[in-house]
Structure formats: C-alpha cells, structure tokens
Chain A
Amino acid sequence: MAYTEEELKKELETKEYEYGFYTDIESDTFPAGLNEDIVVAISKRKEEPGWMTDWRLKAFKAWKEMEEPEWANVTYQKPDFQAISYYSAPNSKPKYDSLDEVDPELLDTFKKLGISLDEQKKLAGVAVDIVMDSVSVATTFKKTLAEKGIIFCSISEAIKEHSELVQKYMGSVVPQKDNFYAALNSAVFSDGSFCYIPKGVRCPMELSTYFRINQAGTGQFERTLVIADKGSYVSYLEGCTAPARDENQLHAAVVELIALDDAEIKYSTVQNWFPGDKNGKGGVFNFVTKRGICEKNAKISWTQVETGSAVTWKYPSCILKGDNSIGEFYSIAVTNNYQQADTGTKMVHLGKNTRSTIISKGISAGKSQNSYRGLVQVSSRAENARNFSQCDSLLMGNECGAHTFPYIEVKNKTAQIEHEATTSKIGEEQIFYCNQRGIDTEKAIALIVNGFSKEVLNKLPMEFAVEAQKLLEISLEGSVG
C-alpha cells in the first residue's frame, strides 16, 4: 500500500476543523461583563415589554445566588462570566424579504457549511430560521407556515407580537431558578426561536434552525420555545457548527417543549460545535438545558447527534405528566481528542400508562471522556409506567473513557423498567472481515460505527441522517491506529 495508515493518521491529526472560518461582518457588541444594567440594556435593546424585563431581572437575581454545578464528570476551566459580552447582533438590518438582499458574505458562510439556503428552499422544503450570533437574520417559508396558522419566528419577535403565549409558557418547563446555566440564560438570552402549532395542525415541513457562534468572545444564549397545541404535530431540527476559536466559548441554551393533549413534537439536533484542536485547546462549552412536558396522550421525541464541543453538559428530558404520554430519547455522542461529554436524559413518569424509551450510543476515541447520565423516575401515582433504556459505549484506543451513571427511582409496583448497558471495542474480527473484502480499516470503522449508531440515525429526518452520517465519519477520522 502506498498510502499507509500512519500517513493517514498524520494527515488527519493536522487537519483543522473544516468549518473553522470567521465571517467578517460588522457587529454591534456590548461591553464585556454582567450586572443588572446589562440585563436591562439587553431587554431595552430588544424593545421588550416590561414583564419580560422583570422576568429577566428575577432570573438574574436567582443566578447571583447560585453556584456553578460541579457534579458532572467533566473538568474544565470555568468561564469568567464577567469577561463575556452578553449581546452581539450582526449589523445588517433590517430584515430581508428575499435571500438576494442578504449580505453575500453571510450567504457564502452558509454555503461553506453546506446549507445553501436557496437549495434548501427549493429541494428540501425546510424553513430555516438562521441565527447568526444572536439575532435572526433570515426566515424563509414564513408565508407558507402562516397560512396554516403556524407561528415560527425569533423569540424576540414572539415576545413583542405573541406576548400572551410567551408569557404563559416561557419558564413553565424550565423555571428561571432551574439550574445555574438556565438562570443565566433566562437573564441574558439574546435570541432564539419560537414556534407555535395551532390545534389539530400537522406542520407540513421540518422546521429548522442553524445556530452559529461567530463573533469572538460572545457568549451564545439561545432560548427556544416550541408549543404544540392539542392534536398537532411538528418536527423541529436544530443544527450547529461554530468557527474555530482559541479561547473557550460558552453556549448556554434553554429549550422548552410543550406538547398539549394528543400533540407530538419531534426535536432533532445535530451538534458540531468546534471541539478544540487535537491538543485540547479551545473549543466550545456547551451547557444546555432542554426539557419538554407531555400532557395527555402527547409524545415528545428527542434525537441528537453530538460530535462537537470541548465540554458538553446536556440532558434533554421529558416530563410525562399526562396519562398515556410517551417520551423518547435517541442519542449518539461522539468524543475525540480531548473532548468531554456528560450527557443523557431524564424521564419523569407522573401520569398513568406513560412510556419512555432511551437509546444512547456513546463513542469515545482519542483522549476523550464520554459519560451517560440518566434518570428514570416513576412516581407512586404513575400506574403501569414502562421504560426501556439501553446505553452502549464503544471505545477506540486505550486512552479514552466511557462512563455510565444511570439513576433509577421507582415508587410504583406496576412499573416495568429495563436498563441495560454494554461497553466494548470494535472487534478485530469485524475489521479483519472487512479488510479481507477489500475495505480499508478507516472505512471499515466508519461502517461499523454506522451500524452501531443505526438505531439512532434511523430516527433522524432524512436530510439530517445523511449529514449526521458524514459527521460521524469526520469526527472519528484518525482515531484508529
């Protein structure tokens, strides 16, 4: 063989983050630091009503009292919250009606990311609410959605135009005081997405948002609120890529899902924040609170593919409040080099006949640490609750770690809970088999990893599944040797 594995490894090690570029757009940035004035200023800048300002201040007060959590199985240099600028908005305002008006440099950025807007507009039928730094820049397909009565806009717009809905639901699933980062987010969130599906409406397309962190030194505090009214259905996609940065960037988002009676929400994420270089320098801190509440017969399904971030700390959860409600969690978390991930889910069974499924696949390579942390809780009133959890870990190389911390708390005798976890490496026989049939080792690994993750990949919407598969391959390149 002319091209050896060693050479490949070397090449991949020196390969920089593909999406690590920096778009030079003038932006309007606040001075670094956090105090009440900044919170008020953010609120003012966004022309928010008084109740929103008060809500933010209440959260800020709570945050000041709180301490940064340390229980997660990750180690990192804690961010200095006074060194972060809490607001940054691209300058090119006002909003555009068509894509042609958008700053060509920005469009170019998205092209590099492989999400050309016009193509998506034509082909996939995906409405993209692009969040470039903190303010929505372009929203497409809004009109098609408006016909159905679906509201899909930025959260700042929703606060102004649909304040009764926002006021009613914001903080109802993740209260301001929920945890350190949720409180911080509640105080300073810059923008995010808002989605409301009216009664009995089936959203005709996948809703999608791309988050990016662009401006140096800006913390990204997204807030997403999805409300599916009685009997409605929505599939929401969230994808992330971030440019390379040397200092660590903080991302503390809050996502709240509300599925009213008989509604269904499918929330898919592909996360590819900059993971830091091969020496573990830089990278994004991803401290996210995601939670959904299910009323009667409702269903929430979380699917996530996590390949990025230096440190991930994320537990998309379901509160199964209504009878017969269903919660699902499908996750693939890939860590390479010095990445650390502590991720999992919480399924809180409160209603009768509630069901939940957890499928978690962890793949660790390089010197990374990958933890699954989950909670399955069955309250004493949750008759006939059913849970199935499966956590599989794949280890590549002897310098990485895989950890499982499942918590199971059951207070009802009719509950049926099954949990199983396995840890193993890719079998030498499997690789040999592939080699023997002319598939090189690198490809064989990709093949096996894909098979290992198939259960989760299958849950992703079509367009995403392809992208995710590619992402898996990219993130594991060079991890075999």
Chain B
Amino acid sequence: MDLKDKLVSSFLAFEGKVDIEHPVHDIRSEAIKNFENKGFPSKKSEAWKYTSLRGLQNIDFSIFPKEENALEYKEVKKFFLHEIDTYKIVFIDGIYSSFLSETTHDGVDICLMSAALTKPMYKPVIDVYFNKIASKDESLTTLNTAFSREGAYIYIPKNKMPKKPIEILHFSTGNETSLMLQPRNLIIAEENAELQVIERHQSLTSNEVLTNSVTEIFAAKNAIVDYYKVQNDSKAASLIDNTYINQKDKSVVKVHTFSFGGKLTRNNLNFFQNGEHIDSTMKGVTILSDKQHVDHHTLVHHIQPNCESHQDYKGIYGENSTGVFNGKIIVDKLAQKTNAFQQNNNILISDKATINSKPQLEIFADDVKCSHGCTIGQLDEEALFYLQSRGIPKKEARALLMYAFANNVLASVRIPELKSRINKLIALKLGVRLGFDL
C-alpha cells in the first residue's frame, strides 16, 4: 500500500485516540479531505520541481509508534545544549517524555500541544490561534493538521520573557524499522514578549524516519522571537519542516536554519507581515556531503507598509549532494516603503554536486527597495594560496575560508553556547580541527 492510502486509512484509527467532539477535530477532518484530494506533491508542481518525495512514499512507515520508549539522559545528553540551563520539551518517537523534559506554567506556558488541545483552560487560545496561518491548501501541511495531536505549546503573555531558552527535541529510537512523525507546534508571543527556541530532530539509529512537522508562530506587537533550527540528523532521516510565522507591528522574528545532516530536508518557511515596522530575518547555513538533499523554500509576504525582511542563505555542497534554494518575496500594493533583501551564496566543491537556485520577486508596490543576489562559485585560489604560504595545511585553509563564508549567518546567533556548538558541528562536517572558537 502506498503511503498516501496508508495515511488516509489510518485516520480512522487516529480518530479512536482523540476527542472527536472537540472543535479542533472539525479542522482535522477538513484537512484530511484536502490531503486525500491532493496527495503528496509531485515534481510536476512548481514548488517541488527540484525535490522528489517519491522514494519516501515507497517506504512502509509506521504511523503510530507501538510502545513508549525511554531513554537515559546520559545517552542523549550530547544532543542537548547542556552547557546552559534551558526549558526542555522532549519527545521520544513522537511521545512526550516527562522524564527528560522541563516544562513550566510559572507566568508563561511552556508545555504540550496535547494538553492545549484537550484542556478547557487553553481553549480560548486554541480557538484564536490554532491552524490560523498554517496553509489549508498545501497538502503536507494539511496532512500534519489532520494528525495534529502532539508537539510543543508555548504561550508567552504580555510583557513576559521566559528565564531561559526553550529546547524542543524529537528523538527517534529506531525501535520501529521505519517511523513517520508529525509534530505540531504552536508558539505565541504576546505584546512585548520575548523568547528563544532551539528545535532539533535526532534519530539515534540508522532506521528510516520521516518527520513532517508544522510550526505556527505568532508574534504580537513588539514581540521578539528567535528561532534556531539545528538539522544534523542521521543519514536515514528525512524532514519536512513547515513553519508559518505571523507578525504584528514592530515585532522582530529571526529564524536560523543550520542544515548539516539528514537524507532529505525540506524547509518551508513562510513569513506573513500583518503590521507595520516589522523586521523578519531568515538565515541559513547548509553544508552537505554524500547524497544529501536540502531544499530551502522561503516566502516573505509583505502585506503592510514600512517593513523589512532580510534573507541570507549560504551553502557548501560536496560529493553527490543537492542544494535547492527557492526564495520568494511578495510585496503587496499596500506595502509601500518595503525593504526586502535576499542573498543566496553557494560553493560547489564536487563535480557531482548540484545547486538549483530560484530567488524570486513579485512586487506590486512602487516605493520599495528590493534586491536579491545569488552567486555560485568556488573558494578563492589566491586566498587559499595565501593561507598555505603561511603554513596552514590546505585542508585547514579550505575549512577556514568556508568558515569565513558562513560566518555572516553565525554572527547573528544570540546564544553564545549555541554558536560554539554550531561551530563545532561545522568543523566536524568539514573534517578539521581549527583549535579556536569563532
């Protein structure tokens, strides 16, 4: 049976596990209908021109994990940002692990989607925010909506700020030969609220995992949201990440995506600017090898005047890897005085690697400054020679230059421990020891 049929037919079984009287269930039923009509996107559709999900559809994924699995903290400590104290929302094979987690209700809500979707006290918030900006049309998003049950729920009320960063971790134990996960996150920052989130998906064995995640982020007036996605999963893990961000007046949202691992990664990052003087930033570093495939698909929709958006994606592609960048900026007629910038720089270090880039602008307002740039090239031979002439071995010299190349993106990471962690990951990925932290 192919994956689509399997998913559609398991929806019945899923209904047995959730409260079908809850209004959210109407949203789910609607969503599964859309997915049933649309199915998985094929390469024929423009948005999926360069990324094929065909291979994944032939794998017999289990949709509900059979049993609860436990993990010892010391087994997985290295995947946490253990140098500092953080709130943690941890899932093992899609099931919440209270043992590894550290949640709170002290002034702010950092807890579970399953609680938010069932407990009456959260209902007013869910009514206002749940599935409000996630696409009701895009098939993978609606697939997630149909099976939405678990994930992170973060609510920061007006003028509050959690004491420490929040980590969202998804572990897959590999107890199932192949597992499909569909986490659903909802993050709300009310007026003047501020928060930092680090999201990571980690599979612990080389069994196949497919994660189809949807995150909705609402940033109210003056809110500040920093979101870091660390994608350094095993070579058998595939991730489809759909993030929808709604911003109000003067809010600042930054999303950093670090893609080093995984078999197939697709990031759909969508910003909607529903207010004035908004700042949206999306940055990414992608370093690939082997047969890895990463597809960054960004959309910034400038709806109101006087807003800014900044995009900066750097990619280094080795061996047989494929990188895709598809950035779209839409400036509505109303959105005068928009400044939108988009930058995509790539280095190919292997003859078998491929890069497909499509930076796209759709502009309907006249008083705007919009630009995009895209480059594909190599490391500067002269710079390399300079370093070598000073006694730095070629490999390290190359790595240094690549560091410099990616550094623009790292510079805006606001958690120093995370920055040094990313640095280490880059060094590991490039196979060198630099002996210093940038």
Contacts and interface: CB of A to CB of B under 8 A. Distances in A.
B372 A393 contact: no
Contact of A425 (B353, B364, B367, B376): B367
Nearest to A73: B362
A418 interface: yes
Contacts of B364: 398, 400-401
B75 interface: no
Interface of A: 71, 380, 393, 395-425
B374 A417 contact: yes
A424 B360 CA distance: 15
Interface residues of B, number: 35
Nearest to A377: B356
Contacts of A422: 369-371
B335 to A, nearest CB: 10
B360 A398 contact: no
A410 B351 contact: no
Contacts of B354: 409-411
Contact of A402 (B355, B359, B361, B376): B361
Contacts of B348: 410, 412-413, 415
A409 B355 CA distance: 6
Given A403-B362, A404-B361, A406-B358, A416 B377 contact: yes
B67 interface: no
B362 A413 contact: no
8 contacts: A71-B46, A396-B366, A400-B364, A411-B351, A411-B354, A417-B377, A422-B370, A424-B369
B212 interface: no
A400 B333 CA distance: 8
Given A416-B376, A420-B373, 19 more contacts: A380-B351, A395-B366, A398-B367, A402-B363, A403-B360, A403-B362, A403-B363, A405-B360, A408-B376, A409-B355, A409-B356, A410-B355, A411-B351, A415-B348, A418-B373, A421-B359, A421-B361, A421-B372, A423-B363
Contact of A406 (B336, B360, B378): B360
Given A404-B361, A406-B360, A410-B354, A417 B371 contact: no
A296 to B, nearest CB: 23
B375 interface: yes
A375 to B, nearest CB: 10
B357 interface: yes
B400 interface: no
B288 to A, nearest CB: 13
Interface in B196-250: none
Given A398-B333, A408-B374, A419 B349 contact: no
A229 B358 CA distance: 36
B359 A406 contact: yes
A406 B374 contact: yes
Given A380-B352, A395-B363, A408 B371 contact: no
Contacts of B358: 405-408
B372 A404 contact: yes
A422 B369 CA distance: 7
A415 B372 CA distance: 20
B58 interface: no
Nearest to B50: A409
A341 to B, nearest CB: 14
A414 B351 CA distance: 8
B222 to A, nearest CB: 28
A427 to B, nearest CB: 10
Contacts of A417: 374-377
Contacts of B299: none
Q: Which 9 A-B pairs have the closest CB atoms?
A: A395-B366, A417-B376, A413-B348, A419-B374, A423-B370, A408-B357, A404-B361, A422-B371, A420-B373
Contacts of A405: 358, 360
A416 B378 contact: yes
Contacts of B373: 418-421
Nearest to A380: B351
Nearest to B356: A409
Contacts of B376: 408, 410, 415-417
A411 B358 CA distance: 15
Nearest to A404: B361
Contacts of A399: 333
Contacts of B367: 398, 425
A403 B330 CA distance: 9
Contacts of A407: 356-358
A405 B333 CA distance: 19
Nearest to A414: B378
A66 B311 CA distance: 40
Nearest to B343: A420
B336 A398 contact: yes
A421 B363 contact: no
A415 B376 CA distance: 7
Contact of B366 (A71, A397, A418): A397
A423 B355 contact: no
Contacts of A412: 348, 351
A417 to B, nearest CB: 4
